[in-house]
């Protein structure tokens, strides 16, 4: 079973800064199978990125994904207060990482 490990556990940044979130797989996975989600308190998750780097419809271009093999990254440029949330990666529509909590100061 492939395990996804996200880092850091918590990230605290100011508006306008750039956030870099990491997702590392225990073995190599196809980029086609890596997705990122955003979840705000009390809400269902929302798909941000699929296929490691493709933005879902309606997602601002401040959000971008990259990576291959075992190392994947979600980058959020020009942080806004509304970006405060927990971010999860997922592989093959199955296993999720444990999440990274992003706090905007």
Q: Which residues bind other proteins (CB under 8 A)?
A: 32-33, 35, 37, 39, 44-47, 50-51, 54, 56, 86, 88, 90, 92-99
Q: What is the DSSP letter of 31?
A: G
| Contact status, residue 74 vs residue 21, Cβ threshold 8 Å | yes
Choose between 81 and 93: whose C-beta lies nearer to other proteins: 93
Q: Give the shortest CB-92-to-other proteins separation in angstroms.
A: 6
In sequence order, which residues have a C-beta less than 8 Å from that of residue 37 and are 6 or more positions away?
45, 46, 47, 48, 87, 88, 89, 90
Choose between 2 and 13: whose C-beta lies nearer to other proteins: 2
């Amino acid at each position: 079973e492939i395990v996804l490990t996200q880092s850091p556990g918590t990230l605290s940044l100011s508006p306008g800064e750039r956030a870099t979130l990491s997702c590392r797989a225990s073995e190599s996975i196809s980029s086609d199978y890596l997705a990122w989600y955003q979840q705000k308190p009390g809400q269902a998750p929302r798909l941000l990125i699929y296929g490691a780097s493709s933005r879902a419809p309606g997602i601002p271009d401040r959000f971008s994904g990259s990576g291959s093999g075992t190392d994947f990254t979600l980058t959020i440029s020009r942080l806004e207060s509304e970006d405060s949330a927990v971010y999860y990666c997922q592989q093959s529509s199955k296993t999720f990482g444990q999440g990274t909590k992003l706090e905007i100061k």
